[in-house]
Amino acid sequence: MSALWKLDQPLLLASSSVTRLHLLQSAGVPVETCCPDVDERALEANLQARNMKPDAIALELAMAKGVQVSRLCPDRLVVAADQILSFGQAQLHKPKTLDDARAQLRKLSGTTHALHAAVACFRNGEQVFAHVESARLTMREFGEVFLDAYLSGAGDAVTRSVGGYQVEGLGVQLFERIDGDHSTILGLPILPLLAYLRRAGAIEV
C-alpha cells in the first residue's frame, strides 16, 4: 500500500466508476471497489418530486450508495460519490445511445450548464463526512460537421458520462469556458476528500 496510507485496509469505493477509481489511485490512495445496488433513477425521481435542488440530490444519491456498502462491509472506511448535471430547470443523464448524445449535445451547444458532484464517507453505516461542489461549463456553438466528427472520434464513450462528454479527453473540444475544480467535473471532489482523510488519520499529514 501507499506509504502515505495509514489504515490497515484500503479505502472502499462504493462505485463502478473507472474515473473515480483512477482519481483516487493517482492521489496515492489504495482503493478497492464494491458496486452498490441502488436504483438511482427511481431515487432521483423521488427527490425531484420533493423539489430538492440538484446539489442536494447529488449528495442524497451519494449517501444512499455509501450507507448501503458500509452496512455490507462493517469496519471499512467507505467513500461514495455522485454527480448531477443541471441545465436550467432540467437534469440530464448519461445518454443511452449515440443518437441520444447527439440530441443532448445539440441542446447544450452555446449554453452554460452546471455539474454538481457530491462525496460522502461512511464507517459502520454511519456518515462521517459529506461535501458537495459545483462547476459551471460553457459549451461553444458548433455545427453538424463538427458534431459528426466528435461523435465518430469519441465513440461509445459518450454514453458513459453525463452530458455526453469527457473533458479529460476529446470532450474538451466542446467547451469555450470551464469554471470549477477538475476533479469536481470528473465526479469526485478529491481535495475536500483528501483533507477529510488527513483529519481522520487515514493519510499521513
37 is known as an active-site residue: no
The Cα 179–Cα 168 span in angstroms is 15
Number of Cα atoms under 13 Å in the Cβ half of residue 161: 22
Set of cell numbers at residue 108: 447544450
Q: Which of 39, 55, 82, 100 is catalytic?
A: 82
Buried b (16+ CB within 10 A) or exposed e, 4-25: bbeeeebbbbbbebebbbebbe
Number of alpha helices (DSSP H) and beta strands (DSSP E) in the chain? 7, 7
Q: What is the DSSP string of 166-201?
A: -TTTGGGGGEEEEES-HHHHHT--HHHHHHHHHHTT
Number of Cα atoms under 13 Å in the Cβ half of residue 142: 25
Which residues participate in catalysis according to the annotation? 82
